[in-house]
Amino acid sequence: MHVLFTSGGILSLVTLVMMEIVLGIDNIIFIAILCGFLPNKQQQRKARTIGLSLALIMRILLLFTISWIVHLTDALFHISTFAVSGRDMILFSGGVFLIYKAVKEIYLKLRDKEGSQKPKERQFSVRQAIIQITLIDIVFSFDSILTAVGLSNNILIMVTAVTISMFVMLFFAGYVSDFINRYPTIKMLALAFLVCIGLLLFFESIHIKTEEYRGYLYAGLAFSLVVELLNIRLRRIKHQSI
C-alpha cells in the first residue's frame, strides 16, 4: 500500500489514469451510440452504469490474471507462416464487430428519411446494451492492460488507475451520449471514428503495428470535432438571424 503514496507510485498512477482515459475515448463513443438505441434516459443511464460496472470488474479480474494475458500473445496455431494468438482473435473479432455496428448505423441513418425517428428494428433491450458494452470493453481492455504492464508492474497501482479511469468514464458517458445524440452530424463523425478504430483493431490482429497512427486518428477526430462545432454555431447564428 505504501508504494502508492511514494513519488514514483503517484507518477505511475497519474500516467496510467491519463492513458486509460485517452484509450477509453473510443469506448465512451461506442457506449454513447449504443445507448442512443434505448427509448428513454432512465434505461440509457441504467445500461451505462451496469455495463461499465461489469466492465470494471472484468478489468480488475484481468489484471489479477496478468500472467495469462501476457501469454495471449503466444501463437495458438499457424495459418501458413502466419502465427495466430489469442490476442489476435480477440482484436479481430472486436474490430469486425465495431466496423459492422458502425457501418450498419451509418447505412440506416442515410436510409432513414425522417432522421429523428428510431425504427423498431434499431431498438433493443437494456440487457442487450449491457452485454454489448461489457464485451466491447473487454476487447479494449486487453491493449490497455498490456500497455499498463509496460508502465508499471505494481498490481495495486494498476487496479487503482483502472478504477479511477472507469469512474471518470461513467461520469462523462452521459454527457457525451446526450451531446452525440443531439446533433446528427456529430453522431456521423463519431460513427466514422468507430470505423477507424475497428480498422486499427483489425490491422493489429494481423500484426500490422498501428500505435503511431492512433495519435493521428485522435488528432483528426479533435480537429473534425472543432470544425463541426463551428458549423453548428454558424447554423445557430443563421437560424437566429432569420
DSSP E strands, 67-178: 75-79, 82-85
Q: pLDDT-based confidence at 41, cuts 50/70/90?
A: confident
Distance CA 35, CA 130 (A): 9
What is the C-alpha to C-alpha distance for residues 215 and 12, in angstroms, rounded to an integer? 21
Mean pLDDT check: name the lowest of 74-83, 94-103, 134-143, 220-229.
Answer: 134-143
Per-residue pLDDT for 115 more than 50? no
Write out pLDDT tens, residues 161-176. Answer: 888 888 888 888 888 8
Tell which wins on pLDDT, 211 or 85: 85
Give dist(CA 54, CA 77) in Å, integer.
Answer: 31
HSE (CB half, 13 Å, CA atoms) of 221?
22
**How far out from the chain centre does Cα 17 lie?**
15
Confidence of residue 140 (pLDDT cuts 50, 70, 90): confident
CA dist 196 and 216 (Å) reads 11
Residue 207's pLDDT band, with cuts at 50, 70 and 90, is confident
76 and 84 in contact (C-beta within 8 Å)?
yes
pTM for this model (two decimals): 0.76
Contacts with 93 (C-beta within 8 Å, 6 or more apart), sequence order: 139
Q: Give me the residue label for grid cell 436510409.
A: 111
